[in-house]
Structure 1
Amino acid sequence: MHLISLSSLFVSATALASLSFAAPLVNGKDKRSFVERDGVNYTVFEHAATGAKLEFVKNSGICETTAGVNQYSGYLSVGTNMNMWFWFFEARSNPTTAPLAAWFNGGPGCSSMIGLFQENGPCHFVNGASTPSLNPYSWNTYANMIYIDQPIGVGFSYGTDSVTSTVTAAPYVWKLLQAFYAQFPQYENRDFGLFTESYGGHYGPEFAHYFQQQNAAIDAGTVTGQKIPIVALGINNGWFDPAIQEKAYIQFSYNNTYQSLISKSDYDSYMSTYESDCLPAIQACASSGSNSDCSNADNTCYNEIEGPLSQVADFDVYDIREPSNDPYPPSTYSTYLTKSSVVKAIGAKSTYQECPNAPYNKFATTGDDARSFLDTLSAVVSTGLTTLIWAGDADWICNWFGGLAVANKIQYSGTSQFASAALAPYNVNGAEGGTFKTVDNLSFLRVFGAGHEVPYYQPELALQAFKQTMMKGPISST
């Protein structure tokens, strides 16, 4: 599944000595200092436990302009010359008690600024406007939100990128959150939600699983750190399992509710190719786990299934209703993020890159795309974690046919009941916005009239589903 078509220079010791003052925190190990550069004030925080350094700007005045709502944007060093970008927004109401949620876009190798500015962040660009306006359906109306650009090289993150797979990405995200908790201890022990989309079908299960493993290790005394109290996982239009979802490309192309892209004879031909070439390659990848087998599976299925199907008609793979040459939603936000005044205000130290090739190519070398995360997702759901698998039904690239098929295969205590349950109307203030089913801690939601980036198309519904999931209960109509 090929989604890509296709920082902070920390202050030197000398500069700190001349421009700032340092104050050790209560434990005598962590250190916080303040520095002014080019008229912008930065906080620099050094986290003793992980060796990480955090440098950020408070209240840049960019995006979130609601009075009294704080925001922080900047970098965390997660390793030598590894500077990961984050942008944090307090909840618009009750920030001192509201839960904390993190958002990750997919790719692999795409910036979470996509989600911030096009989907669920405090501001958005209406009808392709050149400047942002407040988003009334921002997810920070309910939760404190942190958006993270990972791996290194994506978005505003910059430096050395050693991440070559979903599994190797997880520890760096955990390290960022550890330093975040150390700098902002008021958010420790808050309910934590992990929300993601697209390649987040890989990221979401693995990151949640890694956080749970680290929590257990902290309890056992084998790891030193702050537990991440994860209570919710949400993945919209995710790429979870290639065996299921490569087949779904064929099924959706033939039988979706918007436009049939292929004939019955084409359908039969693609299904034959799937069975003879694509599926055996995926099974070889799963069996051996080798980079070569998994890269081969990725290439085989793309060249014989996904690639050709994406060219059978003039359509946007992210929204089957749109032509291929008219990307939607408009990407005006990316131009905004290259404005020198904006870059300076938020404390960014690199040129914004939405979906650069280099990080993606590293994942390609390990065949990460062709590796299934269904077992990992099952393990996470089996812990009782409230989980929402949802999808806009006009998306082709990670379509709802595949999402539903994956949800039905999740192995947990409610598997048989969930798989046999029918979809029922999902209403928002009495209006039907999709169909859903839920058994115990697992829910699936099909969203009507939405492409790949669900919160862009159906913001009110998306906010409702987000809030219900963060409340640790099943989603339900209103």
Structure 2
Amino acid sequence: MKLSLLTCVLPLAAAVGASRHQPMHLTRQAEWKKRMNAHMQAMHTESTPYDVTKRQLGSQFLNDNSTKFAVDGSKLPNITFDIGESYAGSLPIGSSNSSELFFWFFPSADAAVKKEIVIWFTGGPGCSSMNGLFAENGPVTWMPGTFAPTLNPWSWHRLSNVVWIDQPVGTGFSTGTPTANNENDVADQFRGFWKNFVDVFKMQGYAVYITGESYAGAYCPYIASGMLDQNDKEYFNVSGMLIYDGVYTDDSVSERVPAVPFIDSLPGMFPLNETFNKEIHDRHKSCGYADYLENNVTAETKACASILFDIDDAITALNPCFNIYRVTDGCPFPYDPTGGVDNYVPQGAPAVYFNQTEVKKALHAPLDKTWQLCSSTEVFPHGDDSLPSNQHAIPNVIEHTQNVMLVHGALDMVLLANGTMLAVQNMTWGGKRGFDSRPELPLYVPYHSPGDRDTTAGAGVYGTAHTERGLTVALVAFSGHMVPAHQPSVAFRQVEVLLGRVPNLQSLDPFTTDANATQQPSANSLGSGVGPQVWLGGNSNSSACNGASGVTGKGSTSAAEGGSAGWNRATLAVTIVFLWVCAFLV
């Protein structure tokens, strides 16, 4: 009885005391709730300018050849809304039906869109682009950990016609026996498919924008470059390329050289014990990674080659749900309707979405094909013997289009942001090697009306972006490997720039889909680029935030040997662009 009385009295006393001495965390929590309620109120009082359920009338893409590919969205399980006009199915890679690639095509929700189309490839190699459509940048979004699919206000088809394609052969719903030995083979096969696609949907002369992520850092440049080499604008009118967290060079440069500086930049995410921390820093030096310009990596020991895997093992022991694709994630594993890269399906969960018979029927997919997010079949049976894409393919696309964008999420540890900068600084295009100037301009995302909580996305300065000689590099804060999933408003803005709707990633123009033209801040209020990473220089333990490290890729000359003048030629052969860590530490 006394205990019961005490438990009644204490909350009352706490409530009285809180009115005079409320703990700071409760004050912050109350303020956060107040702001969120204001956002939700604004969401209900402001009208949305976009009716995603409205179909285009008299579609230009519906014809005798395309009718069999038309998708009846009402037959897709769990999707309780009209997804609009779309087409899905398989087309051969040439004149033979022995190998076919699968696609899902969404005409733009904007009837005013001109003759253009965006192509999306997920990487792997061998990972299905249906995951990109379903969990990143498509009209339907069902993100891991969320309750049900929903309309995606950040779908790229709001800006252009978009097609998601399972390629190369062996990926997703594509059928046939993989035969590709390299990216030239992939490019040749894809052109055969693309000609068939253009003929079916009567897209001759359309501007083509090629986009993707991860291993698409190899796919996109080779496919785009191969198309441009055909000098055929009727079918292959490539007008730009956008890649997220791509692989552009060998593993030592893209993964191992920047590994230790990466974990140093995020100590709260990598609380490794002192012994292991010292061991990997010693290895970072002995392998030549810490002083890469003077000690060009030509041969690596097994211990060097395993440094990133060893870090992954160590942090996974501390965080069993560690996600190498976004290092801030923790337990528990979220339910993923596509199974996820590790094919994790909780007990009692339905079958992986794209393996459900009703889904396959609605999408005209092969009923006898078991869909996997990332194929267990080797799509390169004997390996991919291609040269890195930064050696020829990317420069060729830049030269022809003057419209290439390489984007990287700062929280990605599959491929590291510093690796992208190393690849760029070791790439020659427009007659020069690397960037001339230190990247420091802001990556700006316009302010906009808030959305539903399951599709809301932020605004403001989201990182750093830099453009020279037709190439833009952008590094994105708060994002892991899949930028369109983790920061959809950032990716949406980047597509606007790719398509020429706005001039650059510093533009203060509102989103082109923002009918209310939300007011933006003044240009002088943005400041420089921001973010959580920095290249710490030759000594990764250094606390000098303005340090820089010259870096030369395997088999190439240093920036000082025949490189361009200024920033690129001097000791700043690579810098991870933003002085992000300093901004947080100072």
Asked if these proteins are the same fold (TM beyond 0.5), I'd say yes
- 1:77 corresponding residue in structure 2: 92
Asked whether the 8 Å contact 2:466–2:473 carries over to 1, the reply is: yes
**Equivalent of 2:376 in 354, 357, 362:** 357
**Equivalent of 1:155 in 168, 172, 185:** 172
Question: Percent identity among equivalent residues?
Answer: 24
- 2:464 corresponding residue in structure 1: 435
Distance 1:161 1:258 in 2: 43
The farther-off stretch of 437-446 and 418-427 is 418-427
**Equivalent of 1:192 in 208, 213, 222:** 208
Asked whether the 8 Å contact 1:388–1:442 carries over to 2, the reply is: yes
SS in 2 for 1:358: coil
1:313 aligns with 2:315: yes
Distance 1:366 1:352, change over 3 A: closer
- 1:444 corresponding residue in structure 2: 473
SS in 2 for 1:374: coil
Deviation at 1:385, TM superposition (A): 3.2
Distance 2:106 2:484 in 1: 18
Asked whether the 8 Å contact 1:443–1:474 carries over to 2, the reply is: no
1:236 aligns with 2:244: yes
**Equivalent of 1:345 in 338, 349, 362:** 362
Asked whether the 8 Å contact 1:441–1:474 carries over to 2, the reply is: no
Deviation at 1:367, TM superposition (A): 4.9
AA in 2 matched with 1:468: V
Distance 1:470 1:347 in 2: 30
User: Can you give the 5+ residue segments of structure 2 that lack an aligned partner in the other structure?
Assistant: 1-62, 317-321, 340-351, 448-459, 509-586
- 2:199 corresponding residue in structure 1: 182
Asked whether the 8 Å contact 2:169–2:175 carries over to 1, the reply is: yes
SS in 1 for 2:227: helix
Higher strand share: 1
Which aligned pairs between 1:112-261 and structure 2 lie closer than 5 A? 112-126=129-143, 128-129=145-146, 131-185=148-202, 187-215=203-231, 218=232, 226-242=234-250, 243-245=252-254, 246-256=256-266, 259-260=269-270
Q: Deviations over 1:131-154 (max 9, x none)?
A: 421100000000100111011221
Deviation at 1:327, TM superposition (A): 5.2
User: Can you give the 5+ residue segments of structure 1 that lack an aligned partner in the other structure?
Assistant: 1-30, 35-41, 44-55, 220-225, 285-296
The farther-off stretch of 334-343 and 440-449 is 334-343
SS in 1 for 2:235: coil
AA in 2 matched with 1:244: V
Computing the radius of gyration from Cα coordinates, the structure with the larger value is: 2
The farther-off stretch of 330-339 and 188-197 is 330-339
TM-score normalised to structure 2 length:
0.62
Distance 1:382 1:256 in 2: 37
AA in 1 matched with 2:377: A
SS in 2 for 1:266: helix
Distance 1:465 1:417 in 2: 22
Distance 1:281 1:338 in 2: 47
AA in 2 matched with 1:157: S
AA in 2 matched with 1:418: F
Deviation at 1:322, TM superposition (A): 1.6
Q: Deviations over 1:69-98 (max 9, x none)?
A: 421000012244212101100101126625
Distance 1:68 1:309, change over 3 A: closer
Distance 1:474 1:152 in 2: 36
Distance 1:421 1:256 in 2: 22
Deviation at 1:388, TM superposition (A): 0.6
- 2:336 corresponding residue in structure 1: 331
The farther-off stretch of 123-132 and 305-314 is 123-132
AA in 1 matched with 2:211: F
TM-score normalised to structure 1 length:
0.75
AA in 2 matched with 1:227: Y
1:413 aligns with 2:413: no
SS in 2 for 1:235: strand
AA in 2 matched with 1:455: P
Distance 1:111 1:67, change over 3 A: closer
Distance 1:92 1:414, change over 3 A: farther
Deviation at 1:171, TM superposition (A): 1.3
Asked whether the 8 Å contact 2:206–2:235 carries over to 1, the reply is: no
Asked whether the 8 Å contact 2:426–2:434 carries over to 1, the reply is: no
Q: Deviations over 1:339-376 (max 9, x none)?
A: 221111111112211111212562xx33548x422112
Distance 1:150 1:88, change over 3 A: same
Distance 2:380 2:309 in 1: 17
Distance 2:485 2:253 in 1: 26
- 2:14 corresponding residue in structure 1: none
Distance 2:200 2:65 in 1: 12
Q: Deviations over 1:276-323 (max 9, x none)?
A: 9x9999858xxxxxxxxxxxx8x9589523322322212311011124
AA in 2 matched with 1:164: N
The farther-off stretch of 413-422 and 188-197 is 413-422
1:463 aligns with 2:471: no
SS in 1 for 2:133: helix
SS in 2 for 1:310: helix
Distance 1:307 1:360 in 2: 23
Distance 2:230 2:309 in 1: 39
Distance 1:236 1:92 in 2: 24
SS in 2 for 1:313: helix
Deviation at 1:477, TM superposition (A): 3.6
Deviation at 1:383, TM superposition (A): 2.7
Asked whether the 8 Å contact 2:180–2:379 carries over to 1, the reply is: no
Distance 2:305 2:439 in 1: 35
AA in 2 matched with 1:182: D
AA in 2 matched with 1:462: A
Equivalences, count: 401
Deviation at 1:173, TM superposition (A): 1.4
SS in 2 for 1:170: helix
Deviation at 1:378, TM superposition (A): 2.0
Asked whether the 8 Å contact 2:135–2:143 carries over to 1, the reply is: no
Quote the RMSD (CA, aligned, Å): 3.2
Asked whether the 8 Å contact 1:391–1:400 carries over to 2, the reply is: yes
Which aligned pairs between 1:383-394 and structure 2 lie closer than 5 A? 383-394=400-411
The farther-off stretch of 157-166 and 344-353 is 157-166
Higher helix share: 1
